[in-house]
Amino acid sequence: MQAKTMEGREIELKPETLNGLKMHLLGPMFTPGDVGYEESRTVWNAMIDRRPAVVVRCLGTTDVMTCVRFAREHELLLCIKGGGHNIAGLAAADGALMLDMSLMRGVWVDPQRKLARAQAGCLLGDVDRETQVHGLAAVLGFVSLTGIAGLTLGGGFGYLTRRWGWAADNVTGMDVVTADSRWVHAGSDENADLFWGLRGGGGNFGVVTGIDYVLHPVGPEIVGGMVAWPASEAPKVLELYRTLVAKAPLELTLLALLRPAPPAPWLPKDMHGKPIVALLACYSGKVEEGEKAVAPIKSFGHPVGDMLVRRPYTQMQSLLDATQPNGRRNYWKSEYLPRVEPSLCEKLIDHASKIRSPYSSIVLVHIGGALNGLEDDHSPAGNRDAHFLLNLAASWGQASEDDANIEWAREAQHDAKAFSTGGTYINFLTQDEGPERTHAALGNGLQRLAEIKARWDPKNVFRTNRNIKPV
Ligand SMILES: Cc1cc2nc3c(=O)[nH]c(=O)nc-3n(C[C@H](O)[C@H](O)[C@H](O)COP(=O)(O)OP(=O)(O)OC[C@H]3O[C@@H](n4cnc5c(N)ncnc54)[C@H](O)[C@@H]3O)c2cc1C
């Protein structure tokens, strides 16, 4: 079996060597051709097609420790798959030993202390489902099939970010298997440097096996959903968006979307595929107040569809799932913005009219609030000057359409850059974005992260990520 070392050399893994590994594992191991191999190696973005040499579906911390030890002994390249949603496909590497965490999906909730411990293979929906039993929620993202590990290790934002900051700001501890295959706990009073690095530094320091989240009272019912208008209304709707975000309480998160209408049942058939502008709202406080907060959206103009209603929080958390299926080709460009200026809106409307695929979208997410009040170095997720995230999300079906869609996203980003804080979201970086973009995402924290890397992973065992070189 051909495999790759950390330095990129080809090596031969003998069958008896692999059997030696298998003997020590509780979870299944796959090599190319085995049932399960293709499922494990496949990631959300179909532009990524990488073939690890060996996959281990870890069934506990000891499996993780065994794999890290094996990789060290054989100098084998290691990659880690959480939910496989990273757009750059960082979960998969050619010739590597892949740790597929998908069997580690336990969640334990302590409703009294408002804490949840989640195993690192959980998807967002796993955590939401268990915490909502108690009317509690962790700060997570918008699509329930995303992995908690990649999201949280890169910062993480969602409908609760305005109230409580980045997902990584709402973590009290993590269990980690280090580069020398030791188990350690990282928290504010134990291995505090490692804990700091993990809260936004992107998985550079070890394999996380468990994450402890602070929970907040949310739901189980909230007010949320979307209202859509024909794209011809975009100037007025984006102006409404600007007015609403200027005075929105922290409980209200608003997204603006420009895209071709998806074939969703709440939109009339004759609109499917036609350009729309939509506002997506989630009011995570009391439903009566939520209904008042979203009333100006529901009464605005002549919408072509309105599904902004009281609904379970778990439903809100999966509302966008159908629009983001596995297996499409995707290319994103993202920027943090201090504000949404009218001249930016004009440019976005223009670029929306040039979208090349029925699945692409321009998305503005209001994230300003709690994250801006924390010290810049509270966690490496940083970007405390960000009030909005702009995502220029190209998504399409066929490889023959790559060039046109990539060009669209790049051109739109070219015009959006003038409005950026200069920062970007590390978890939204595509594979062609280099070290200067990692710098834009992590900013001043980068030097401190490199020092932490030198202490915890001096040989750079964990390198199939937005890699921070040890100093
Ligand atoms: C459809 C979609 C919607 C999204 N929505 C949001 C959103 O609302 N908010 C948001 O903040 N982000 C969002 N993201 C971005 C998301 O946070 C990143 O893609 C993130 O990397 C996904 O985590 P994952 O575990 O699925 O990733 P994977 O692709 O499995 O892994 C990503 C990186 O994390 C590392 N990693 C994974 N597990 C571990 C572990 N246990 N220990 C150490 N390192 C590990 C991997 O090595 C890799 O480098 C979205 C992405 C997609 C595709």
Q: Is the pLDDT of residue 471 over 90?
A: no
pLDDT of residue 444: 83
Residue 204 · residue 441 · CB < 8 Å? no
The tens digit of pLDDT for each residue in 20-38 reads 999 999 999 999 999 999 9
Mutate to test the pocket of ligand 1, among 42, 80, 329, 365 (most ligand atoms within 8 A of CB): 80
**What six digits make up the tokens of 282?**
């989630």
Which run of H or E residues covers position 184?
strand 183-187
Identify the pLDDT of residue 42: 98
Sign of CA dihedral 92, 98, 102, 104: negative
State the pairing for strand pair 361-366/252-260: antiparallel
pLDDT at 8: 95
Measured from the CA of 89, which atom of ligand 1 is nearest? 29
Residue pair 62/26 in contact (Cβ under 8 Å)? The answer is yes
Q: Is the peptide bond before 220 cis (omega within 30 degrees of 0)?
A: yes
Whether residue 127 is predicted with pLDDT greater than 90 in this model: the reply is yes
Q: What is the CB < 6 Å shell around ligand 1? A: 43-44, 79-87, 90-91, 101, 120, 141-143, 146-147, 149-151, 153-154, 156-158, 203, 207-208, 324, 427, 464-465
Whole-angstrom distance, CA of residue 101 vs CA of residue 94 = 18
Measured by CA distance, the residue closest to atom 34 of ligand 1 is: 150
- If you search the block for the tokens 């995570």, which residue do you land on? 284
- The string of DSSP letters for 220-249 reads SEEEEEEEEEEGGGHHHHHHHHHHHHHH--
> Per-residue confidence at 232, pLDDT binned at 50, 70, 90?
very high
Q: Kindly tell me the sign of the dihedral angle through the C-alpha atoms of 224, 225, 229, 235.
A: positive
The SS3 call for residue 72 is helix
For a mutational test of ligand 1's pocket, the pick from 146, 152, 363, i.e. the residue with the most ligand atoms closer than 8 A to its C-beta, is 146
For residue 426, the CA-to-ligand 1 centroid distance in Å is 10
Spacing, Cα 99 to ligand 1 middle (Å): 15
CA of 313 to the centre of ligand 1 (A): 21
Model pLDDT, residue 6: 95
Q: H helices within 324-401, ranges in order? A: 342-352, 370-373
Distance, CA 296 to ligand 1 centroid (Å)? Answer: 34
Give the single-character DSSP code of 373.
H
pLDDT of residue 45 exceeding 90, the answer is yes
Give ∠ CA 104-106-112 in degrees, rounded to 5. 150
Mutate to test the pocket of ligand 1, among 152, 365, 427, 466 (most ligand atoms within 8 A of CB): 427
* Helix residue ranges, H only, 160-207: 161-164, 192-198
Nearest ligand 1 atom to alpha carbon 43: 29
Say whether pLDDT at 469 is over 90: no
Instruction: Report CA torsion sign: 406, 408, 414, 417.
Output: negative
- pLDDT score at 311: 98
96 within 8 A of 4, measured Cβ to Cβ: yes
Q: Which of 85, 204, 366 to mutate to test the pocket of ligand 1 (most atoms within 8 A of CB)?
A: 85
d(CA 253, CA 225): 11
Mean pLDDT lowest among 133-137, 156-160, 248-252, 437-441: 437-441
Which of ligand 1's atoms lies nearest the C-alpha of 202?
34
CA nearest 408: which of 455, 340, 361?
A: 361
Nearest to 135 by CA among 215, 223, 251: 215
Average pLDDT, whole number, for the chain?
A: 97
| Confidence class for position 470, pLDDT limits 50, 70, 90 | confident
| Residue 176, strand partner residues | 184, 208
H/E element, 64: helix 61-73
Task: State which ligand 1 atom lies nearest to the alpha carbon of 101.
Answer: 41
How many angstroms separate the alpha carbon of residue 288 from the centre of ligand 1? 34
Picking from 218, 161, 207, 232, the residue whose alpha carbon sits closest to that of residue 457 is 207
